[in-house]
Amino acid sequence: MMDNKVRVLKAFATVIFLTGAAILTSCENYIWSPPEIPEEIVISFSEHIYPVCDDCHTSWNLERTYEELTDKLDMDDPESSAIFTIHGSILDNKMVQVDEDLTIKASDAIILWAEDGAQFNK
Ligand code: HEC
């Protein structure tokens, strides 16, 4: 009689434990991690970067925005560019879709673009 109760309790505890473990491990899949950025991705100034700036700097055309941005870029060390001192949190929070299934931070897009020579590209 007693044995049965213990067995049932043990089984019950095991089920609860396993459910908990299953929930915990399944949650891990939902922790967001930044997407891998493939080497070959090409960032376009006019398509990917300009629209981000144009959201606020509506009076700047393509050329003006290019000048303002490149003026604030450190081509030797894009990550320490002045543009991120001016706009670090804005550009970290704006997301840019750079191809069919890749969306990255505007700041990362700017860094990649600067590493590729910061061209006035389409
Ligand atoms: C969320 C709005 C917003 C976005 C997006 C934004 N800016 Fe700005 N930016 C501002 C505001 C506000 C100022 C400060 C007011 C001003 O100087 O006009 C500013 C200032 C600047 C300045 C400083 C001007 C100076 O020398 O004092 C530069 C350069 C600049 N932005 C470039 C950019 C570029 C390049 C982008 C796109 C990569 C961009 N901004 C995106 C709102 C924005």
Closest CA to ligand 1's atom 29: 68
Closest CA to ligand 1's atom 26: 68
Instruction: Specify the pLDDT at position 106.
Output: 98
How far apart are the C-alpha atoms of 95 and 81, rounded to whole Å? 19
Q: Which residues of the chain have pLDDT under 50?
A: none
Cβ atoms of residues 72 and 83 within 8 Å: yes
**Token digits of residue 23:** 């929930």
Which of 46, 48, 52, 53, when mutated, tests ligand 1's pocket best, judged by the most ligand atoms within 8 Å of its CB?
53
Ligand 1 neighbour 11 (Cβ under 6 A): no
How far apart are the C-alpha atoms of 72 and 83, rounded to whole Å? 5
Cβ atoms of residues 114 and 81 within 8 Å: yes
